[in-house]
Structure 1
Amino acid sequence: MFVRIVKMSFHTEHIPTFLNNFNNKKEYIRKSSGCRLLELYRDKQNTNVFFTYSYWDTEEDLERYRNSALFKDVWAQTKVLFNDKPEAWSVDKLVSLE
């Protein structure tokens, strides 16, 4: 399993639109083949900054999602709302204490 972390920063006036879009699509994203978890976080200091964390079985599962019509639709709606370039990381999960 690996984790995909995406950092996104939005114009303040576009945050409600982003949150509405995310809420409308989150179940579809989570049900993508190989997606085990989807979470959205908001920075406490800079409230224009959000992070998505998603857990994937394989890199191929993530790539399949990234090439899907669903992703293309979500990304087209999201990227026009940014106030800065997004950043993304794919990391291996090594330890989890629950």
Structure 2
Amino acid sequence: MQSRRLHRLSRFRRNKRRLRDRLRQRIFFGEDKETPETMEKPRVVVLTGAGISAESGIKTFRAADGLWEEHRVEDVATPEGFARDPALVQAFYNDRRRQPAKP
């Protein structure tokens, strides 16, 4: 039983690695396996995270004055919260969009 489980896990990891490699190939080199030098259209890669938001002056979620200090996650970031109070959820995300970002 143990060896069967390990074999399944090994096969899962191998398939996951293959899928990740194929996806990476598509993202960075396109479907045709073009090289960056031969690409006709530019590719855009966006790197983001809480550190970039904080540096730009946008509130982060977990900081002392972060977004979760004013709202509960369940109220504004779940389908159930939206079903209970769609106006609150829309106001929350509209406020996020209105925050000025510094370049």
TM (norm. structure 1) is 0.30
| Structure number with bigger Rg | 2
Greater strand proportion: 1
TM (norm. structure 2) is 0.29
> More relative contact order in 1 or in 2 (CA 8 Å, sep 6+)?
1
Greater helix proportion: 2
